[in-house]
Amino acid sequence: MGNIWAIAQRELRSYFVSPVAYAVGALFVLISSVLFALILNQAQTASIQPLFANFAVIFLFVVPGLTMRLLAEEQRTGTLELLLTAPVRDYELVFGKFLGVLLLLLILLAITLVYPAVIMLAGNPDRGPIAAAYLGVILQGAAFLAIGLFASSLTQNQIIAFLLAFVILLLLWLADGLSQMTGGRIGDLFRFLSITRHFDDFPRGVIDTRHIVYFVSVIAAALFFTVQSVQARRWR
């Protein structure tokens, strides 16, 4: 646990000394603020649910930007060699990286608490669904991050890591549409994989165990494959 925390801490701090965290963070706040303003203006109701429905789209661009360097950069500069020869287990390294970027995402999400605060000033929204929506957004964000981390483990090139993560996330995001298009068994599979289908209940205030299991499984699978990918690197 000490190793995981040490790696997570270092990772988080390094985001704040590089321009990446600020650039991606600014992008995140900008897009979500614009969306928030548009939604408020059109709906004219003190409701925040439509904003959360759009978080998947924002994450689609922001998350690969946050995760692309995690392992790719360490491979390019060779610092991975020092981590892999330290008495640190491969899973500790992967968990530490994941925890580091997850903490950054939580910081970014903390900024968005401004939106519900604004709404509460203007009206009296139901707090339950907002809390549930945040749980959903965090689970969804964590799943995206884990997939991004996996993409970053496959290459030394940050741009490739970004694109790879983006494509995987895009497919998961479009899976619902694909399931309607194909139908049948394959359609069922796509529906099962669909991020949106598993997310949509949260902003409605419904916390369904199946959806939580889905996101936790995605996180576990992506982290598992990342550990495998780091281990495979040793055999080359």
Partner 1 sequence: MITVKNLTKYYGPRAAIRDLNFEVAKGEILGFLGPNGAGKTTTMRILTGYMPPTSGTATVAGYNVFTHSIEARRHVGYLPESVPLYTEMEVADYLRFMAKIRGVPGRNQGARVDYVMQALNLTHVRDRIIGKLSKGYRQRVGIAQALVADPDVLILDEPTIGLDPKQIIETRNLIRGLAGDHTVILSTHILPEVSATCQRVLIINDGEIAAEDTPENLTRRLRGAETLQVEVRGPREAVVGQLRALPHVMDVTVAGGADGTNTYTVACALGHDLREQLAATVVGQGWGLLELRPVRLSLEEIFLEIITEENESADELVEA
Nearer to partner 1, 86 or 111 (CB): 86
Nearer to partner 1, 96 or 136 (CB): 96
Closest residue by Cα to residue 150 from 206, 76, 97: 97
For 15, residues 6+ apart whose C-beta sits below 8 A from its C-beta are 21, 66, 100, 101, 104
- Smallest separation, CB 51 to partner 1 (Å): 34
Residues interacting with partner 1, by CB under 8 A? 2-3, 6-7, 10, 14, 17-18, 77-89, 234-236
- Smallest separation, CB 56 to partner 1 (Å): 31
Amino acid (1-letter code) at residue 160: I
b (16+ CB within 10 A) / e for 3-24: bbeebbeebbeebeeeebbeeb
- Smallest separation, CB 20 to partner 1 (Å): 10
- Smallest separation, CB 13 to partner 1 (Å): 8
Nearer to partner 1, 81 or 126 (CB): 81
Nearer to partner 1, 81 or 188 (CB): 81
Dihedral, 162, 167, 168, 174 alpha carbons, nearest 10: 140
